[in-house]
Amino acid sequence: MNVNQRKRQLNKGLTVVLALLLVTTVCITVVAFSVGRRHRDDPPAGSSSSSSTSSTRSTSGSTSQTASTSSTETTASTAKTDTPVVIPVPEFLCPVNAGVLASSYSGDIPVFSMTMEDYRTHTGIDIRADAGTPVYAAAAGTVSEIGFDPMMGQTVVIEHTGGYKSIYRNLQTAMPEGIVIGKTVAAGERIGSVGDTALVEISDSPHLHFEIRKNDVPEDPLSYISTTALSDNTFED
């Protein structure tokens, strides 16, 4: 091989090497450009965290507000539910016009009975009046019982609001027209007449045995009507 051939081969080798270097340089430039562009397009390192934190705070705030609203509504509902319903005590009137108090309420203290000649409790008051004197409903209510008690005679029971009931005993057996079980009566409406049908009080003058009970527990009627009402009370027949 002569000198010229060697030069040609050397030139070819240099050309190949230069070509490879050029290709390598282009590749490196393209890669570097792509990486730099990608870095420019990516959000800052704290951006995602900040966005997430903001979203979390927003969600937390919404949840807290919802929980607060729910708690407020629950408290309001509980307050409304726990508010006691106050039922007023019926206003009782004296059931007999110008009657006279003959016997008082004794509660659980026994008192002497002239008829039975023994001591026993007296769960009401006796209002003395002439036989046939009208007896009136002491308060508005519903007639729940009408009947003849073997010991206490003709009896009428009226139920009122608040668990109260009024009881009228020793009545005449003849009842006013329209007074039947289930009838709604107004305060002062006639429901019977003073009689002497109570066997255990037959020795006494004609009178009305009058009781007031709350939740079926006897109470002193004079706590609801005044003694002056016994002589001052007036109703129309």
Place of tokens 């003959």: 102
Among 124, 131, 133, 119, smallest CA distance to 102 is for 124
pLDDT tens-digit readout, 189-219: 999 999 999 998 888 899 999 999 999 999 9
In CATH terms, the superfamily for domain 100-232 is Glucose Permease (Domain IIA) (2.70.70.10)
pLDDT tens-digit readout, 8-52: 665 666 676 567 777 777 777 766 766 666 655 555 554 444 444
The answer to whether 171 and 190 are in contact (CB under 8 A) is no
Q: How far apart are CA 95 and CA 210, in angstroms?
A: 8
Spans of all domains in the chain: 3-82, 100-232
Q: How far apart are CA 116 and CA 158, in angstroms?
A: 28
- Among 32-41, 48-57, 108-117, which stretch is predicted with the lowest mean pLDDT? 48-57
Q: How far apart are CA 218 and CA 107, in angstroms?
A: 8
Query: What pLDDT, on a 0 to 100 scale, did the predictor assign at position 5?
Result: 59
Q: Report whether pLDDT(133) > 80.
A: yes
pLDDT tens-digit readout, 160-188: 999 999 999 999 999 999 999 999 999 99
**Other CB atoms within 10 Å distance of the CB of residue 212:** 25
| Average of per-residue pLDDT values in the chain | 78
Backbone angles phi, psi at 217, to 5 degrees: -105, 125
Higher-confidence residue of 59 and 98: namely: 98
Q: Report whether pLDDT(55) > 70.
A: no
